[in-house]
């Protein structure tokens, strides 16, 4: 599946806050729906490196009216990217179908809230907090450490009463990881299949692509598509992207190759 990114944070790095205006945001959603998006991800808290936290009230004001507007106009599934239980409750009440938490339900009451809401949730790995996470991130073995973190969060979810079939997992590219650590995680992505849950991956336009190809954010489409192919080939189920139409082609092509039955 392709998850299309709709940013409503004024300082979000890639779309530069262009979609804070709701008419523009809805036009963007309409385009993504035309392009075949499977789920729209809406976030009101910037998690780019160095970003400062936003209040729950601000996050609700940014996100909820948009969830309502999309829900009333389009049939598309909606994911809300948040770590805050208050935003989670408001989002689901407004019609969100899924939650995406870059903190993997580590905030107070987040586990209990999601257990009660009963919606699917993506558990993402992040080392540290956005404000300082790119300052010298350290791992013993990045893939094993991220896997171990996700095993522990899956376990915490099960203890809290969140059904296993509601969970997705995500290694969290760019969240407290050096370039070498990000590339290692992508090379070893197939190891995340061992968790037995759908794997979601977000690499679209991220700095790991800029670093390898020496390109600014607006030129990272081709690298993003290469990363999407590598992720899909290794079993990722959901790819979170800015460029829906292009990524849909990548997905359909990868699926055609995967579907070849060598016994025929
Ligand atoms: C990811 C994400 C971001 C990601 C998941 C960006 C909210 C930075 N990245 N959520 N969010 N996975 N699950 O560049 O990789 O889009 S924000």
Percent of the chain with pLDDT over 70: 95
Is residue 263 situated within a structural domain? no
CA distance readout (Å), 206 to 49, 127, 145: 11, 17, 22
Question: How confident is the model at residue 15, as a pLDDT?
Answer: 55
Is residue 120 situated within a structural domain? yes
> For 113, phi and psi rounded to 5 degrees?
-65, -45
Query: Mean of the pLDDT values across residues 113-120?
Result: 98
Question: How confident is the model at residue 9, as a pLDDT?
Answer: 62
Residue 206 zone, left/alpha/beta (φ > 0; ψ -120 to 50; rest)? beta
Q: Which two tokens stand for residue 80?
A: 């809300």
Query: Mean of the pLDDT values across residues 141-150?
Result: 98
Nearest to 88 by CA among 122, 54, 55, 113: 113
For ligand 1, pick from 62, 80, 124 the residue to mutate: most ligand atoms within 8 Å of CB. Answer: 124
Confidence of residue 7 (pLDDT cuts 50, 70, 90): confident
Nearest to 79 by CA among 29, 131, 42: 42
Query: How far apart (Å, rounded) are the C-alpha atoms in residues 34 and 178?
Result: 36
Residue 13: pLDDT over 70: no
Q: Which two tokens stand for residue 37?
A: 């998006």
CA distance readout (Å), 215 to 203, 210, 219, 224: 15, 5, 6, 12
Question: How confident is the model at residue 53, as a pLDDT?
Answer: 87
Q: Which two tokens stand for residue 241?
A: 């992207």
Tokens 């963007």 appear where? 28
DSSP 140: S
In this structure, of 18-22, 34-38, 230-234, 258-262, the range with the lowest mean pLDDT score is 18-22
Q: Which two tokens stand for residue 18?
A: 């262009």
Query: Mean of the pLDDT values across residues 56-79?
Result: 96
Residue 147: pLDDT over 80: yes
DSSP 194: G
User: How many other CB atoms are found less than 10 A from the CB of residue 258?
Assistant: 10
DSSP 21: S
What SS3 class is residue 54? coil
**Ligand 1 atom, smallest distance to 7 CA:** 16
Question: How confident is the model at residue 46, as a pLDDT?
Answer: 83
Is 84 in the active site? Answer: no
User: How many other CB atoms are found less than 10 A from the CB of residue 110?
Assistant: 22
Question: How confident is the model at residue 21, as a pLDDT?
Answer: 76
Closest residue by CA, ligand 1 atom 4: 202
**Ligand 1 atom, smallest distance to 41 CA:** 7
Query: How far apart (Å, rounded) are the C-alpha atoms in residues 125 and 128?
Result: 10
How many structural domains are present in the chain?
Answer: 1
What SS3 class is residue 19? coil
Residue 207, domain CATH: 3.20.20.20
pLDDT digits (tens, 9 = 90+) for 174-219: 999 999 999 999 999 999 999 999 999 999 999 999 999 999 999 9
pLDDT digits (tens, 9 = 90+) for 14-59: 555 555 578 899 999 999 999 999 999 999 888 888 888 899 999 9
Residue 102 CB less than 6 A away from ligand 1:
yes
Question: How confident is the model at residue 255, as a pLDDT?
Answer: 97
pTM over 0.85: yes
Q: Which two tokens stand for residue 253?
A: 């092509």
Catalytic one of 62, 206, 220, 248: 206
* Structural domain span for residue 152: 2-258
Is 193 in the active site? Answer: no
User: How many other CB atoms are found less than 10 A from the CB of residue 205?
Assistant: 24
Closest residue by CA, ligand 1 atom 14: 206
Residue 67: pLDDT over 60: yes
pLDDT digits (tens, 9 = 90+) for 148-170: 999 999 999 999 999 999 999 99
Query: What is the average pLDDT score of the chain?
Result: 94
Residue 136: pLDDT over 70: yes
């Amino acid at each position: 599946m392709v998850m299309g990114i709709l940013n409503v944070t004024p300082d979000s790095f890639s779309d530069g806050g262009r979609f804070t205006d709701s008419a523009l945001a809805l036009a963007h959603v309409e385009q993504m729906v035309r392009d075949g998006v499977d789920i729209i991800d809406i976030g009101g808290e910037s998690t780019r490196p160095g970003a400062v936290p936003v209040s729950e009230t601000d996050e609700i004001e940014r996100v909820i009216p948009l969830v309502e507007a999309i829900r009333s106009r389009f049939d598309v599934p909606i994911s809300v990217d948040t770590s805050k239980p208050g935003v989670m409750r408001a989002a689901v009440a407004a019609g969100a179908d899924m939650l995406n938490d870059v903190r993997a339900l580590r905030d107070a009451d987040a586990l209990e809230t999601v257990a009660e809401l009963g919606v699917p949730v993506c558990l993402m790995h992040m080392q540290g907090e956005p404000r300082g996470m790119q300052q010298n991130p350290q791992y013993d073995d990045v893939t094993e450490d991220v896997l171990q973190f996700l095993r522990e969060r899956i376990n915490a979810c099960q203890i809290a009463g969140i059904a296993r079939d509601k969970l997705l997992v995500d290694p969290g590219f760019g969240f407290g990881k050096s370039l070498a650590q990000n590339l290692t995680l992508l090379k070893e992505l197939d190891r995340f299949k061992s968790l037995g849950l759908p794997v979601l991956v977000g690499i679209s336009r991220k700095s790991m692509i800029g670093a390898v190809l020496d390109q600014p954010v607006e030129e990272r489409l081709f690298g993003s598509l290469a990363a999407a192919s590598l992720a899909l080939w290794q079993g990722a189920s959901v790819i979170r992207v800015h460029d829906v139409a292009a990524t849909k082609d990548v997905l359909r092509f990868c699926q055609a190759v995967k579907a070849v039955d060598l016994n025929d």
